[in-house]
Chain A
Amino acid sequence: MAIQHGSQRLVVGAHFGLRDWLVQRVTAVLMLVFTLLLLAQVLFTAGPIGYDKWAGIFAQQWMKVLTFVVIVSLAWHAWVGMRDVWMDYIKPVGTRLVAHVLTIVWLVGCAGWAVQVLWRL
């Protein structure tokens, strides 16, 4: 049972900031792993890379799954980052809410487009 200290709000238990902090780092590591694996495949491909070889990298099932995870990671990571930026520079609650909503629409829309591209390969 959580203890309420006076009229102050409960400062632990709801993961204030900790989850976002952790999400930003976990998604960052996933994107780094993706970057290195993609780079390795590009570097270890013999000869010049045209359409076939490039699209072939993303056509493998494991690469599709990894790329999907990275698209979701990127959107989540960018959400945490953009939210930090808005919280630092926009103080009026209404304006900040509008910025948050537009950011979510922007990131979810972009993620949807990227998944659509990936899915039809």
Chain B
Amino acid sequence: MRLLDALQYPLPIGGIVSILHRASGVMMAVLLPLIIWLFDTSVTSEISFDRFASAFTAGIGFVPGILVKLVVLGLIWAYLHHAMAGVRHLWMDATHQVTKEFGRSSAIATAVASIGLTVVLGAKLFGLY
């Protein structure tokens, strides 16, 4: 089968959650220095804490604050999706719940919960409440 033929088949929701599990993991591994920088500046001192806080408004170096917020929003989603998809795997490992129906319904639950929580936390990040 050529790749072009394979693309004719729609990816089931379980497949989408699976590839996003991988993508979110790679994203967090690549952005690890940013995560540690945020941890570093937020806990080291009051002065560094101000730098941490202003990263979301004034930005970091030449990177504008809005871009920092968007990247952090991406990280929030990546963490939530990765963790929830991981719990789904652990659940399947522990209970041997490997039916087609459970695969589909748990994948939908994972996607909905991670996106929903991202919206809630994202609204906080962007100061909507």
Question: Could you tell me which A residues sit within 8 Å of B by CB distance?
Answer: 25, 28-29, 31-32, 35, 50-51, 54-55, 58, 78, 81-82, 85, 106-107, 110, 113-114, 117, 120-121
CA distance A51 to B83 in the complex (A): 27
**Cross-chain pair count, CB within 8 angstroms:** 57
* Nearest CB in chain B to that of A32: its residue: B83
- Decide yes or no whether B65 CB sits under 8 A from chain A: no
* Nearest CB in chain A to that of B87: its residue: A32
Contact assessment for A117 and B83 in the assembled complex, using a CB-CB cutoff below 8 Å: no
Chain A binder among B7-15, B41-49, B66-74, B104-112: B41-49
For A51, give its contact among B29, B33, B46 (CB under 8 Å).
Answer: B46
* A78 touching B90 in the complex, CB below 8 Å, given contacts A54-B43, A110-B36, A117-B44: no
Contact assessment for B29 and A117 in the assembled complex, using a CB-CB cutoff below 8 Å: no
CA distance A106 to B33 in the complex (A): 9
CA distance A51 to B45 in the complex (A): 8
Contact assessment for B42 and A54 in the assembled complex, using a CB-CB cutoff below 8 Å: yes
For B90, give its contact among A25, A82, A114, A121 (CB under 8 Å).
Answer: A25
Distance in Å from the Cβ of B54 to the closest Cβ of chain A? 13
CA distance A106 to B26 in the complex (A): 13
Contact partners of B32 in chain A: CB under 8 A: 78, 106-107, 110
Contact assessment for A78 and B25 in the assembled complex, using a CB-CB cutoff below 8 Å: yes
CA distance A32 to B85 in the complex (A): 12
Contact partners of B26 in chain A: CB under 8 A: 81-82, 85
Distance in Å from the Cβ of A25 to the closest Cβ of chain B? 6
Contact assessment for B46 and A82 in the assembled complex, using a CB-CB cutoff below 8 Å: no
Contact partners of B36 in chain A: CB under 8 A: 110, 113-114, 117
Contact partners of B22 in chain A: CB under 8 A: 81, 85
CA distance A29 to B87 in the complex (A): 9
* Nearest CB in chain A to that of B79: its residue: A35
Contact partners of A106 in chain B: CB under 8 A: 29, 32
